[in-house]
Amino acid sequence: MIISTVAWKISRAGQRLTASLRRDGLRGLGAEAVRLAGELSRAPLALAAEYLFDLRRGIRTRGFVRNERDLAGISVGGDPNYYQPIGLPLLRRLVSTVPVERGATTFLDLGAGRGRAVILAAELGFGRVVGVELDGELAAEGAENVRRWRSGRRGRTSGSQEVDVIQGDAAACPLPEGPLLIALFNSFGPTTLRLLLGHLCDSRKEAGDPVYFAYINPVHEKTLEEFPRLVPHSRARGWSVYRLEPEPTSA
């Protein structure tokens, strides 16, 4: 089911206020209300920026899709989350903290949806950009958005050699070789996250190309503590970036 951004923000605001009241009482409720008022006051500008992003590229990446129940039966980990497009300023800030040569690095977006992060990453100069999306319909929309973007001026002038959105499961998809930045926007729960990180650590044991893991809206961030080779690199409100260290060698 597709719901509007405004309706989703109002729904989430109600949930956050209720949770704050239960957890911290009236004092916590007041503080949360102030934070929410600031966020909602900025929402119209963010919505306008997202609309213009799509309009200028002839694509459609906006809108939320409550598809988690439909996907639970086909997900390897059994804990998919609904589709929520990433905020444009957030991704730009996050990428600016990752010290890689973008032209030589693969940007892997897990839970790519309609391809907003994929297209923005390509415009930011990553040499290869791949989006993996479990929902077949969303993956098809993402691939079509990439095709439309490619046919426009911004896509034709992009330096990225390969840009695509494919259907697949984050817990089982092949991980690209070479320098790598993996990004996910709370696309699934802790079970799938463990499977993904276990696969990542097993596939990259030796020192070599840099690997970074960007977790946006890191609801299950404590899961990363189970993987000591993932070392915090940068963070801000709403996201964390980790660097994968090589496996220690025995003396």
Least confident range of 14-23, 140-149, 170-179: 14-23
Q: What pLDDT does 2 receive?
A: 40
Place 32 in a pLDDT band, splitting at 50, 70 and 90.
low
Please report which confidence band the pLDDT of residue 65 belongs to, taking 50, 70 and 90 as the band edges. Answer: confident
Q: Measure CA 120 to chain center.
A: 12
- Closest-CA residue to 197 (of 221, 178, 216, 179): 221
Average pLDDT, the chain: 85
pLDDT bin (cut points 50, 70, 90) of residue 157 is low
Q: Where are the beta strands (DSSP E) in 98-222?
A: 106-110, 128-133, 162-167, 180-185, 211-216
Angle at the Cα of 217 from the Cα atoms of 175 and 87, rounded to 5 degrees: 90
Residue 247 burial (CB count, 10 A): 12
pLDDT in the model for residue 13: 56
* pLDDT confidence band for 35 (50 / 70 / 90): low
Whether residue 1 is predicted with pLDDT greater than 50 in this model: the reply is no
Instruction: Flag whether pLDDT at 110 surpasses 80.
Output: yes
User: For residue 218, what are the CA distances in angstroms to 189, 236, 250?
Assistant: 10, 11, 33
Quick check: pTM over 0.85?
Answer: no
pLDDT at 7 over 70: no
Given this model, what pLDDT does residue 4 score?
Answer: 44
**Section 239-243 average pLDDT:** 96
Burial of 71 (0-12, 13-18, 19+ CB in 10 A): buried
Q: What is the pLDDT of residues 40-60, one digit of tens each?
A: 555 566 677 888 899 999 999
More confident of the two residues 237 and 243: 243
List, in sequence order, every residue forming a beta bridge with 106; answer none if it has no partner.
128, 180
Largest CA distance in the chain: 58
pLDDT given for residue 215 in this prediction: 97
> Using N-to-C axis directions, what is the helix angle for 88-96 and 116-123, rounded to 10°?
50
Which pLDDT does position 213 carry in this prediction? 98
